[in-house]
Amino acid sequence: MMEKALPSEALYFYYGNEKISFTLNAGSSLTDKIRITVKPCGSVAVSAPLQAGNDAVLSAIKKRARWIYRQQQSFLAQNSAIAPRLYISGESHFYLGKRYLLKVVETADERQGVKLLRGRLQVSVRQKDSEKVQALLNEWYKTRAKEVFAMRLETLLVQTFWINQAPPIRLQTMQTQWGNCSPQGRLTLNPNLIKAPRECIDYVILHELCHLAEHNHSPRFYRLMAQVLPGWQSVKHRLDNMAAQILASH
């Protein structure tokens, strides 16, 4: 049973007693099909052509309600199986798509901070404390994210003929998004994206740059994506599959 009228940014339905929320993007399909996607984080996105009516969208969701629920439960089980971070030596943490062993060094001489040394993420602290290690590591990730995102944006602008100057970048930790853009042209990127491979970073930046030309997920938007990043679907799939592991190291 639908609780709100379509279209809306936040909708939900019930599978048994389970309330399942989803977002609807009208006009985001290149075909006449209604597409339903369950992301590794558990969120549900429905894409429908503009000509699809509310009844058709609701019918498609109801037909796949069981599959949606099972997908969510499967991702939930996978995510819960990932051990929580303790921020102690021996753990592995992602950076640019690669795993690095964490080494926590207690020192009274060195400045507290993080260094990437010989395949390890070395965190120097006055006293071993997981919260301090986490704070230093998060700050290092944000610093690297600012530098890498800015460099990748400058490189990728060559491919985006519709942009005259580099848009400003803002970092914001988000639970279900890698990035978004404002109507004013500012890009907001999730600093955790720095843990993903460079091609995935490029995909997210290009995705948002395409939104500067076409704000909705329209056929024109996807034509631009295919032009600037052929085969972007496989890159998106790779990022989606890594999401749980990447965010678990947050």
Per-domain residue ranges for the chain? 11-81, 92-248
Radius of gyration of the CA atoms of the chain, in A: 21
* Helical (H) or strand (E) element with 204: helix 198-213
Are 217 and 182 within 8 A, CB to CB? Answer: no
CA 41 to chain centre: 9
To which residue do tokens 């994506």 refer?
225
- Return the biggest CA–CA distance within the chain: 68
Q: Which residue has the tokens 């843990």?
A: 195
Listed residue (157, 163, 233) closest to 199, CA to CA: 233
CA dihedral 150, 154, 159, 161 (to 10 degrees): 110
Q: pTM higher than 0.85, yes or no?
A: no
Q: Give the pLDDT of residue 80.
A: 55
Strand partners, 187: 169, 181
Residue 83: per-residue pLDDT: 63
- φ, ψ of residue 166 to 5 degrees: the values are -65, 130
What does the buried/exposed string (b/e) look like for 210-227 if buried means 16 or more CB atoms within 10 Å of the residue's CB? Answer: bbbebeebbbebbebbee
Q: Give the pLDDT of residue 78.
A: 65
- The reported pLDDT for the residue numbered 1 is 32
pLDDT attached to residue 72 = 82
Q: How far lies 22's CA from each of 48, 61, 110, 207, in Å?
A: 13, 10, 49, 21
User: Which CATH topology does 92-248 take?
Assistant: Zincin-like (3.30.2010)
Instruction: Please name the residue that has the structure tokens 């938007």.
Output: 221
Mean pLDDT by 10 residues, the chain (250 residues): 41 81 68 78 81 82 89 71 77 91 87 89 91 94 96 93 89 86 88 96 95 86 92 91 72
Nearest-angstrom CA–CA distance, 114 and 125: 9
